[in-house]
Structures are given as structure tokens and as C-alpha cells.
Amino acid sequence: MHKLVHAWGCDRLTRDEQARYSRATFELIVEVVEMAESGRTAPEDKLRVVPHVMESFAALGDRGNKVSEGVVDELEGVGLFLNHIGKWREGREIQEVVLDGRRRILGEEHPDTISAMSNLAIALGDQGQLDEATIHH
């Protein structure tokens, strides 16, 4: 989102309106990521979307709300996409939120929580952070 539009939104919209628009923006980002993962996007375009992904992710977090199960599902795909294109730091940041959400919503022993732990551990391992990966796996 352009900085002026963002500033206007923060200045003029209620918190609920900001949350609704942030969610709508995130939905668009998810669609772009799904297109990129399906191979319908040129490799250089995948890298161009990263700043927008992270800005949208930050806006979701700025609302002070814990993410819902549906958002956690979408975040998981976005985090995996970032790891696939070599944006490990960004992917890790999102995967940590996914793991926290899975634990909160589903509990520690749920298969989706364990899968989120595994995804985070793999991402950490790919970055050479083996000690930390062992803790999460």
C-alpha cells in the first residue's frame, strides 16, 4: 500500500475499518502468492511481492488481535512460499506466528501444530540454526 494511503487510513479510519481493510489486503496478497506457487508467475516477480507480503503481515499484527484459524492457514502458505524463494528470515517470522496460532487454537498435540513445528524447524535448519531447530522440532 502506498505510504500516503496508509497514513490516510491510519488517520481517518476506525480501528475496525483498519482491521477489515488489512484483512482484505492480506487476501489479495494470498492470491498473488498462490499464483506464484502454481508457477504462473515469473521468478523475478516472486521477489517483488516480498515487501508487500511483509507489509501486509505487519498490518495484521498491528491490530493487536490474535490471528484466527483461517488467517493462520493462509499465513502458513505464505511462510512456506517465502522459504521456497529463499527469504528465510521473513518466512521464519511468519512461521513463528503460525506455530503460536496453532498452539493457541488447536493445542500442542494436534497434527497441524506438529506440522507447524516441523516447518519452522526445517526453516531454521536451512539457515544453519541447528540448535534452535532442534528446540522447535
Give domain limits for the chain. Answer: 3-136
Confidence (pLDDT) at 60: 75
Answer yes or no: is pLDDT of 63 > 60: no
Q: Which residue has the cell 481493510?
A: 21
Prediction pTM value: 0.78
Confidence (pLDDT) at 137: 52
What span, in angstroms and rounded, lies between the C-alpha atoms of 35 and 48? 13
115, 26, 104: which is closest to 71 by C-alpha?
26
Residues 83-137 have pLDDT tens digits of: 989 898 899 999 999 999 999 999 999 999 999 999 898 888 877 776 665 555 5
As a whole-number percent, the residues of the chain with pLDDT over 70 amount to: 87
3-136 to CATH, choices 1.25.40.10, 1.10.510.10, 3.40.50.1100, 1.10.540.10: 1.25.40.10
